[in-house]
Amino acid sequence: MKIDNYGIILNVEHFDACVRFYKDVFGLPEMFSKTEGDFRLTCLEFGNAYLMIETEGVAIPTGKDVSRCPTKLRFNVPDIHQARASLHQHGIEAEVMDNDWGSIITLYDPDGNRISIRDEAGFRAQADSQ
C-alpha cells in the first residue's frame, strides 16, 4: 500500500480551547478549518503528519485514564527542561519524570486527552539499542 499522508483525528468537546492549546503550547501551524452546521474541524501540521481536531468529543478536563483515552499524543523535544519551562510560561504545571529509558512530561489538553513530551535523545538511544 502506498501512503501519501497520515494523521490523527482528535474529537473534542471544548473545540476552541483545544485548538488554541495545540497552536499556542506546541506551535502547530493551522493548515485549514471547516464548519458545517454544528460540526467544526481544524487541521494542524503535526511534524510530517497532521492533527485534525474535530467536534463531537467528550471532555474530562481533569484527565482521561487509559480506558477512556487509549491513545496518547507524543511530542519529542531536544531539551525536556526547556519544554517544561515553556509549559510553565503557558500556565501549565508539569514535572519532568526521569526513567532509565528517558525523560518525559505527562499532561492533558483542555478536554483531558493524554499527552506526553519525551526527550528525543533518550528516544533515539532506546531505538538504537534494539
Burial class (CB in 10 A: 0-12, 13-18, 19+), 19: buried
pLDDT tier at 101, thresholds 50, 70, 90: confident
pLDDT of residue 65: 95
DSSP class of residue 62 equals: T
pLDDT of residue 22: 98
Say if residues 7 and 46 touch (Cβ distance below 8 Å).
Answer: yes
Q: Domains (ranges, CATH) in the chain? A: 7-128 (3.10.180.10)
pLDDT tier at 130, thresholds 50, 70, 90: confident
Say if residues 117 and 107 touch (Cβ distance below 8 Å).
Answer: yes
Question: CA-to-CA distance for 112 and 86, rounded, in angstroms?
Answer: 19
Question: CA-to-CA distance for 105 and 119, rounded, in angstroms?
Answer: 9
Strand order from edge to edge, sheet including 30-36: 7-11, 49-54, 39-46, 30-36
| pTM, rounded to two decimals | 0.93
pLDDT of residue 33: 98
Q: What is the pLDDT of residues 33-51, one digit of tens each?
A: 999 999 999 999 999 999 9
Q: What grid cell was written down for 18? A: 483545544
Q: What is the pLDDT of residues 56-80, one digit of tens each?
A: 999 998 999 999 999 999 999 999 9
